[in-house]
A and B are shown apart, each in its own frame.
Chain A
Amino acid sequence: MVHDVSIDVEPGQVVSIVGPNGSGKSTLLKTIAGVVTALSGQVLLDGNDITNWPPERIARAGVGYVPQVNDVFGPLSVRENLEMGGYLLHRKEIAGHIDKVVGYFPTLGPLLGRRANKLSGGERKMLAMGRVLMLQPALFVLDEPTANLAPAIAQRLLHEHVRQLSVGGASVVIVEQRARAVLEISDHTYVLGGGRLRMAGSPADLANSPDFVDSFLGGHATR
Chain B
Amino acid sequence: MGNGVVFYLTTLLVYAGVDVLACLGLSQQFGVAGVTNFGFIIFQAAGAYVASVLSLPGDSANGGFQTYLGGWNLPFPIPWLGAALVGGLLAVPFTFLVGRRLRGDFAAIGLLVTAVMANLLVTNYRPLFNGSAGLSLVPAPLQDRFDPQSLGYQWAYGITAVVLAALVYLFLRRITESPYGRSLRAMRDNDLVADSLGKNLVSLRLAMLVLGGAIAGLSGGILVGFINLWAPSGWMYAETIVLFAAIIIGGAGNHRGAILGALLVPLAFEEVTRFIPQFGPPGLIPALQWVAIGALIVLFIWFRPQGVLPERRRITARFDNAPDPPPAARTEPRTPPPADSVGEVVLAAHGLTRAFDGVPVVSDVSFQLRRGRLTGLIGPNGAGKSTTLAMLAGTLAPTGGSVLHHGQDITRLPAFRRARTGVLRTFQLASEFKRLTVLENLLCAVPHQPGDSFHGAVLGRRHWRDAEDRAIDRAAAMLDQFGLTGHANQYAGDLSGGQRRLVEIMRALMAEPEVLLLDEPVAGVHPRLAHEIGARLLDLCAGGMTILMVEHELAIMDEFCDPVVVMAEGRILAEGTMDVLRSRSEVVAAYLVG
Are A and B in contact, CB atoms below 8 Å, in the complex? yes
Interface residue ranges, A against B (CB under 8 Å) = 20-22, 68, 117, 121, 144, 146-151, 154, 177-181, 213, 216-222
Check if B381 sits within 8 Å of A180, measured CB to CB: no
CB B510 to nearest CB in A, in angstroms, measures 27
Q: Are A221 and B594 in contact (CB under 8 A)?
A: no
**Interface 9-residue window, one of B1-9, B390-398, B554-562:** B554-562
Given A180-B592, A217-B554, A219-B557, are A117 and B357 also a contact pair (CB < 8 Å)?
yes
> By the criterion CB–CB under 8 Å, are B582 and A180 in contact?
no
- The reply to whether B559 and A179 form a contact with Cβ atoms under 8 Å apart is no
Contact with A along B559-594 (1 / 0, CB 8 A): 100000000010000000000011000011101111
Q: Are B380 and A147 in contact (CB under 8 A)?
A: yes
The 8 Å CB contact of A147, one of B357, B359, B381, is: B381
User: Smallest CB–CB gap between B554 and chain A, Å?
Assistant: 5
Residue in A149, A177, A220 whose CB lies within 8 Å of B381: A177
Separation of A177 and B568 alpha carbons in the complex (Å): 12
Give the chain B neighbours of A22 by CB distance below 8 A: 520, 523, 552-553
Given contacts A117-B357, A178-B593, A213-B588, whether A222 and B555 have CB atoms under 8 Å apart is yes
B559 near A150 with CB under 8 A, answer no
Which residues from A are CB-within-8-Å of B569?
Answer: 148, 150
Residue contact A221 to B592, C-beta cutoff 8 Å = no
* B592 near A179: Cβ-Cβ < 8 Å: yes
Contact status B559-A219, CB under 8 Å: yes
Pairs A–B under 8 Å by Cβ, sample size 20: A20-B554, A68-B381, A148-B382, A148-B569, A150-B569, A151-B593, A151-B594, A177-B594, A178-B592, A178-B594, A179-B593, A180-B593, A181-B593, A216-B591, A218-B554, A218-B558, A219-B558, A219-B559, A220-B555, A222-B559
Question: Are A177's CB and B555's CB within 8 A?
Answer: no
CA distance A154 to B382 in the complex (A): 14
Query: Restricting to B349-385, which residues have a CB under 8 Å from any CB of A?
Result: 357, 359, 380-382
Please indicate the chain B residues that have their CB under 8 angstroms from the CB of A121 in the complex. 359
- With an 8 Å Cβ cutoff, the count of chain B residues facing the other chain is 26
From residue 379 to 429 of chain B, which have CB atoms closer than 8 A to chain A? 380-382
Assess A219 versus B382: contact at CB under 8 Å? Given A146-B594, A178-B594, A181-B593.
no
Known: A121-B359, A148-B569. A219 touches B556 (CB 8 A): yes
* Separation of A1 and B376 alpha carbons in the complex (Å): 24
A147 to B383, CA, bound (A): 9
B557 surroundings in chain A (CB, below 8 A): 219
Q: Who on chain A is nearest to B582 by CB?
A: A217
- Does B527 sit within 8 A of A, measured CB to CB? yes
Known: A148-B569, A219-B557. 10 other contacts (CB 8 A): A20-B554, A22-B553, A147-B380, A147-B381, A154-B594, A177-B594, A179-B592, A219-B556, A221-B555, A222-B555
Query: In the complex the two chains form, what is the Cα distance from A146 to B559 in whole Å?
Result: 30
Cα A9 to Cα B538 in complex, Å, equals: 45
Residues of A within 8 A of B552 (CB): 20-22
Collect the chain B residues with CB atoms within 8 Å of residue A217's CB.
554, 581-582, 587-588, 591
> A179 CA to B592 CA in the complex, in Å?
5
| Distance of B192 from chain A, by nearest CB (Å) | 20
B593: nearest chain-A partner, CB-CB: A180
When the two chains form the complex, which single residue of A147, A216, A218 contacts B382, counting CB atoms closer than 8 Å? A147
Question: Does B527 lie within 8 Å of A221, measured CB to CB?
Answer: yes
B380–A177 touching, CB < 8 Å: yes
Q: Are A181 and B594 in contact (CB under 8 A)?
A: yes
Within residues 535 to 554 of chain B, which ones have a CB less than 8 A from any CB in chain A?
552-554
Counting from the closest, the 6 A-B pairs by CB-CB distance are A219-B555, A22-B552, A221-B555, A21-B552, A178-B594, A180-B593
Q: Are A219 and B594 in contact (CB under 8 A)?
A: no
Residues of A within 8 A of B555 (CB): 219-222
Q: Is the CB of A218 within 8 A of B593?
A: no
